[in-house]
Amino acid sequence: MNIALAQLNYHIGNFEYNTKKIIENIEQAKAKGADLVVFAELAVCGYPARDFLEFDEFIELCEKAAAEIATKCHGIACIIGLPVKNDILAGKDLYNAAYFIEDGRIKNIVKKALLPTYDVFDEYRYFEPASHFECIRFKGQKIALTICEDLWNINNNPLYVSSPMDELIRQKPDLMINIAASPFSYCHDDERVVVLSDNAKKYKLPLLYVNQIGAQTEIIFDGGSMVFDKKGKLVDEMPYFKEELKIYELEDGHFKGHEPIVHEAAPDIEQIYEALVLGIKDYFDKSGFSKAVLGLSGGIDSAIVCALACRALGPENVMAVLMPSKYSSDHSIDDAIDLVKNIGCKHEIIPIAAAADAFDQMMAPAFQGLPFNLTEENIQARSRGIILMAMSNKFGYILLNTSNKSECAVGYGTLYGDMCGAIGVIGDVYKIQVYQLANYINKDGIVIPENSIVKPPSAELRPGQKDSDSLPDYDILDKILFQYIELKQSSAAIIAQGYDEALVKRILKMVNNAEFKRYQTPPILRVSPKAFGMGRRMPIVGKYLS
Amino acid sequence: MNIALAQLNYHIGNFEYNTKKIIENIEQAKAKGADLVVFAELAVCGYPARDFLEFDEFIELCEKAAAEIATKCHGIACIIGLPVKNDILAGKDLYNAAYFIEDGRIKNIVKKALLPTYDVFDEYRYFEPASHFECIRFKGQKIALTICEDLWNINNNPLYVSSPMDELIRQKPDLMINIAASPFSYCHDDERVVVLSDNAKKYKLPLLYVNQIGAQTEIIFDGGSMVFDKKGKLVDEMPYFKEELKIYELEDGHFKGHEPIVHEAAPDIEQIYEALVLGIKDYFDKSGFSKAVLGLSGGIDSAIVCALACRALGPENVMAVLMPSKYSSDHSIDDAIDLVKNIGCKHEIIPIAAAADAFDQMMAPAFQGLPFNLTEENIQARSRGIILMAMSNKFGYILLNTSNKSECAVGYGTLYGDMCGAIGVIGDVYKIQVYQLANYINKDGIVIPENSIVKPPSAELRPGQKDSDSLPDYDILDKILFQYIELKQSSAAIIAQGYDEALVKRILKMVNNAEFKRYQTPPILRVSPKAFGMGRRMPIVGKYLS
């Protein structure tokens, strides 16, 4: 049996676009001799469609698209993910399902049983879990088809009380297929290989796994579709962050021409780089925009974002705005200009003194001689926000936010100032990883100016200010943050690792007290297992470690 | 049996505060002769604790608080909600549960089976559903204890495939108790009475229902705890938006001294008013703040928010900032000053011309003579945002956002400008309801100036601008928005009701295209069944009706 895996980039709710792409791939697969072509989870509508799923009309558009796709399935069968209505009166209105289409007709509807409802996932918000399991019969073979999470209940502390493959295996299937929408994080690909391999091994069946690629606002799918033999050995791996259609010839449980290979993960920082470039590109492509603007301070964060944007959109589509204040160091402009020259993007220099002075005068009667403090620092940061949004409004540029994860975590940023933007490019990248990204970008020659990398980080909002005045060194800060945010450790557990007690308590309190700021930040491209945004939902007026 | 219902206002994660309050109420109930005192769902930690629940330390703090509470339960038994660990290996780590405490010991742990996971609710994110059901035995009676949603599976299109009361009824209980965290919306109280009454009627048992009150950021609990006889007749109702401890004497299935009464709902607009006042008050109280600032334009929206804030915090704690631009009408300042005089709050007048001029000059080289457009309108709105945040930063005022639901819906507002604020006070109140609120506030004498009510709405960001230049009349706009947002109707269904096709399509497109703005707005006090924020989760780069 020749099985084609179609690893594609879908656009949520863009039925015309998705349907056209799916049909093209059906035709290509057929032309290449495939008996069956397999698309990803919820391919018809894109993932995650969120509350679009609550609109009957949206579900009808899914059905209509699937009906059109079915008409193309002659001489080739197809497996494709879509939401389907629950026709039983009780329970949620929908299933997260897949059609098996043969001879132009829907032969099977397979439903997902294990519905991820944690981190960025909200599937039980929409879907009823499957309670009935049946293999697909095709060309004399029985296919155990499961959907993404259905195979993920295999570890020692399972999240679900049942396992769909334990039901399906009783029907003695000949192979397993799993269709997925499995988002990227820099730790996820190794885990994925292990879980899939464990399934193939446990059930003694060959396994074909198809993921999707592409960014859907903050969530980035990395592809890496895979094929395992019945011993659980990986025999092929499709590319990461790229579309591909590939055909596998399965004969007597063996994938012809494929021998066991070793999964070699790219270095974390390379994966993060590729994910962020795709994240920017898809945000713009799918929103119908092409041009980006950002504030370039001469520091490392904005330099990295500028480099990523230029790679994603082309330097001709990137406008860097330099906005020196009276507290900016001499080097700031030079370093920013160096980057612009290295990278070839457009730039403007717009000093902010006139606005800062105007606000000083306007506020003087109300402020009654109170001394310069955080207020005036914020006025400068917010004046820059106004300039960037003005460039955006006047010319149709989309503003990129340049805050890193360490800053977002402790609230070291000005709401409506440097926290502005349509998308947070490095909001899930700790400062220490920002330096790693700089070195990665510079690996074939200097792009990020050396001085932006080596100088002490500073917001430059008052004379001689340095981040280290109010924050610990980033190598300590980031480690404590990782323990708290990614690993959800208590302060006691973190202190027990040898960190200073007062410091740990201060940092955790800063994180929790900054919740109100993070609520209003742009969506953040997710590259870690725990990003700020939809995947981390904290009370604002709650009192805990605060 | 004397059963006390404790309808209280909890603070999420504030164990010291909650525990003290709970113990005080146990002691009061005991002093008044109660055999049993009943507290609400998740009373120990507050609702919704969201991802705090994912921290082991947080759960341990719940256990510790419950242990302290248990020591006070001598001579009185207690039912109280809290999260408990799932000690079975498979499934989610927690249950949404209740302790039955007698003689200082935990005698029963009752677990919630139906886990709301829709709108603002995320319970399956944290909790495993109960699969085992057992009545509590107390003083020779069997109590069927359920938790909130457990009783809500009673209509014709149930959301769940099982019903806990159908299990419990087999054990022949003598009464039902339901503990809840049931949030307010202006349509919810009538529905609640019907659902609870239907349960009492169906199972032929008396029912005691205890809800909580208080606002937790955007979610507002309204209380209205209730008691039903075994025929499903309402026999008593506790107050709305107020704490109360009340004792009911249950004898042979009859509540002594209580005869059937009729639930008389307060008018919607009065409920909304009370909810918003409580929402503001609790946001400040629970965050540890006391003073608010807002921009006062002379228009009706900011006037309403000012009046609500003065009621919630006291006029001496409210600072209204008037920020006229060169396009402000003569009446704007007069109307705003009239309100300030009527209401007695503080005010400052800070004209924005100097900032607008400074930005004009600063942007001139980049803008190269391009004409005044939306960009310059936004610069003015954002300059006001800077002024308000400067007042907040300098004096510790918390900024109230004054955008109404109609504006939020269609994106008629400036991100980082008038969309700034810590909490959106009327972001779930349509413009038409804003007028109703004005009349309600003025019912005993003019507070909101007549002119703010009768003049045509305008953002006053360019000469002679009116909302009606770019938006349809609010009475039409709000009806179309309600169909789309609250009722999730398709454009076809709305057009079929007789609205202009082009208008409907334009409005729905505006709503979907403004998603990126709403992602960055402050949390909004929820008073409707479908508010913007956590309860409405839409893709940003998705393409649907856009």
Give the pLDDT confidence of A139-153 residue by residue, as tens digits: 999 999 999 999 999
* Catalytic residue status for B41: yes
Q: Dump pLDDT digits (tens) for B377-406.
A: 999 999 999 999 999 999 999 999 999 999
Three-class SS state of A76:
coil
Residues B95, B42: Cα–Cα separation, whole Å: 11
DSSP B455: S
φ/ψ of B473, rounded to 5, equals -55, 145
Which conformational region is residue A10 in: left (phi greater than 0), alpha (psi within -120 to 50 degrees), or beta?
beta
CB A96 within 8 Å of CB A83: yes
Among B55, B159, B375, the residue with its CB nearest the CB of A91 is: B159
The Cβ of residue A2 has, within 10 Å, a number of other Cβ atoms equal to 17
Residue B470 has pLDDT above 90, yes or no: no
Q: Are B80 and B99 in contact (CB under 8 A)?
A: yes
Nearest to B372 by CA among B384, B385, B383, B359: B359
Residues A97 and A53: beta-carbon distance below 8 Å: no
Conformational region of residue B481, where left means phi above 0, alpha means psi within -120 to 50, and beta covers everything else: alpha
Contact residues on chain B for A370, CB-CB shorter than 8 A = 394
Residue B401 identity: N
pLDDT on residue B37:
98
Percent above pLDDT 90 for chain B:
92
Distance from CA of B30 to the nearest CA of A (A): 29
Residues of B in contact with A87 (CB under 8 A): none
CA distance B306 to B311: 9
Return the pLDDT at A123: 98
Count of C-beta atoms within a 10 Å radius of residue B252: 7
List the structure tokens of A220: 């980035």
pLDDT at B511: 97
C-alpha pair distances (Å), B166 with each of A352, B123, B169, B171, B226? 68, 22, 6, 10, 22
pLDDT for the residue A159: 94
In angstroms, what separates the C-alpha of A457 from chain B's closest C-alpha?
A: 24
C-alpha span between B449 and B455 (Å, rounded): 10
Which of B48, B78, B51, B50 is CA-nearest to residue B65? B78
Q: Is the pLDDT of residue B266 over 80?
A: yes
The answer to whether residues B463 and B481 touch, using CB atoms and an 8 Å cutoff, is no
Our CA-based measurement puts residue A418 at a distance from the nearest CA of chain B, in whole angstroms, of: 11
CB contact under 8 A, B89 and A158: yes
**Tokens 């579309």 correspond to what residue?**
A243
- The architecture CATH gives domain A271-467+515-519: 3-Layer(aba) Sandwich (3.40)
Q: What is the model's pLDDT at position B237?
A: 97
The reply to whether A2-253 and A271-467+515-519 are identical in fold is no
Mean pLDDT computed over every residue of chain B? 96
Cα–Cα distance for residue pair B243/B212, rounded to 1 Å? 8
C-alpha pair distances (Å), B187 with each of A243, B486, B517? 48, 11, 27
CB contact under 8 A, B216 and A542: yes
Nearest to B328 by CA among B458, B194, B219: B458
**pLDDT of res. A509:** 96
Residue of B nearest to A536 (CA): B51
pLDDT of residue A157: 78
Which residue of A57, A378, A390 is in closest CB contact with B359?
A390
Q: Which of B48, B287, B539 sits opposite A50 (nearest CB)?
A: B539
Which residues on adjacent β-strands are paired with residue A5? A38, A246
Rounded distance, CA B238 to CA B499, Å? 42
- Per-position b or e across B191-225, b if 16+ CB within 10 A of its CB: ebbebbbebbbebebbbbbbbbbbbbbbbbbbbbb
DSSP B233: -
- Which residues touch A47 (CB under 8 Å, ≥6 apart)? A10, A12, A40, A41, A181, A212, A216, A221
* pLDDT band per the 50, 70, 90 thresholds, residue B154: confident
| B173, B177, B179, B183 alpha-carbon torsion, rounded to 10° | 120
Q: What is the pLDDT of residue B265?
A: 87
Smallest Cβ–Cβ distance between B118 and the set A125, A394, A490 belongs to: A125
Nearest to A117 among B50, B124, B361 (CB): B124
pLDDT, position B342: 97
Q: Is residue A119 classed as helix, strand or coil in its secondary structure?
A: coil
Cβ neighbours of A493 in B, within 8 Å: 57
Whole-number pLDDT of residue A32: 98
Contacts with B522 from chain A: Cβ below 8 Å: 519-520
The predicted model scores a pTM of: 0.97
CB burial string B307-319: b at 16+ within 10 A, e below:
bbbbbbbebebbb
- pLDDT at residue B461 greater than cutoff 90: no
**Full DSSP string of B240-272:** BSS-EEEEEEEETTEETT-------PPPHHHHH
The answer to whether B317 and B283 have CB atoms below 8 angstroms apart is: no
Nearest to A366 among B48, B391, B536 (CB): B391
- Among residues A327, A309, A332, A379, the alpha carbon closest in space to that of A525 is found at A309
Judge whether residue B189 has pLDDT over 90: no
> Hey, are the CB atoms on A543 and B352 less than 8 Å from each other?
no
Q: Which two tokens stand for residue A47?
A: 């993932």
In sequence order, what are the beta bridge partners of A535?
none
CA atoms of B335 and B227, how far apart (whole Å)? 48
The span from the CA of B53 to the CA of B70, in Å, is 22
Residues of B in contact with A159 (CB under 8 A): 90-92
H/E stretch holding B384: helix B374-395
Residue B359 three-state SS: helix
Taking each helix axis from N to C end, the angle separating A374-395 and A353-367, rounded to the nearest 10 degrees, works out to: 130
Quote the pLDDT of residue B32. Answer: 98
Distance, CA of B206 to CA of B256 (rounded, Å): 12
CA distance linking residue A311 with residue B250, whole number of Å: 73
Per-residue pLDDT at B217 exceeds 80: yes
Q: Which CATH superfamily is domain A2-253 in?
A: Carbon-nitrogen hydrolase (3.60.110.10)
Q: Which pLDDT score, from 0 to 100, does residue A25 have?
A: 98
Contact between chains at B355 and A350 (C-beta distance less than 8 A): no
Select which of B148, B306, B310, B408 is catalytic: B148
- Which segments in chain A show pLDDT lower than 50? none
| Nearest-neighbour CA in chain B from A372: distance (Å) | 9
Q: What superfamily does domain B2-260 belong to in CATH?
A: Carbon-nitrogen hydrolase (3.60.110.10)
Mean pLDDT of B470-475: 92
CB B109 within 8 A of CB B96: no
Q: Which amino acid is at A474?
A: Y
CA A370/CA B198 separation, integer angstroms: 63
What is the structure's pLDDT at B275?
98
Alpha helices in A298-373, H assignment, sequence order = 300-313, 330-343, 353-367
DSSP-based three-state secondary structure for A510 = helix
Collect all residues of chain A within an 8 Å Cβ-Cβ radius of residue B363: 350, 387, 390, 394
Q: Are A125 and A117 in contact (CB under 8 A)?
A: yes
Q: CB B363 to CB A544 under 8 A?
A: no
- What number of H helices and E strands is found in chain A? 17, 20
| Å between B482 CA and nearest CA of chain A | 14
Superfamily of domain B271-471: HUPs (3.40.50.620)
Q: Which residues of A touch B347 (CB under 8 A)?
A: none
Question: What backbone phi and psi angles, to 5 degrees, belong to B109?
Answer: -120, 115
Mean pLDDT in residue range B135-162? 93
Tell me how far CA of residue A111 lies from CA of A7, A54, A128, A179, B443, in angstroms.
21, 18, 9, 11, 56
Q: What is the pLDDT of residues B417-458, one digit of tens each?
A: 999 999 999 999 999 999 999 999 999 999 999 999 999 988
- E strands along A93-202, which residues? 94-102, 105-111, 136-138, 141-147, 175-179
Count Cβ–Cβ pairs < 8 Å, chain A vs chain B. 270
The DSSP annotation for A26-63 comes to HHHHHHTT-SEEE--TTTTT-S--GGGGG-HHHHHHHH
Burial class (CB within 10 angstroms; exposed 0-12, middle 13-18, buried 19+) of A54: buried
Domain residue extents for chain A: 2-253, 271-467+515-519
Taking each helix axis from N to C end, the angle separating B353-367 and A353-367, rounded to the nearest 10 degrees, works out to: 170
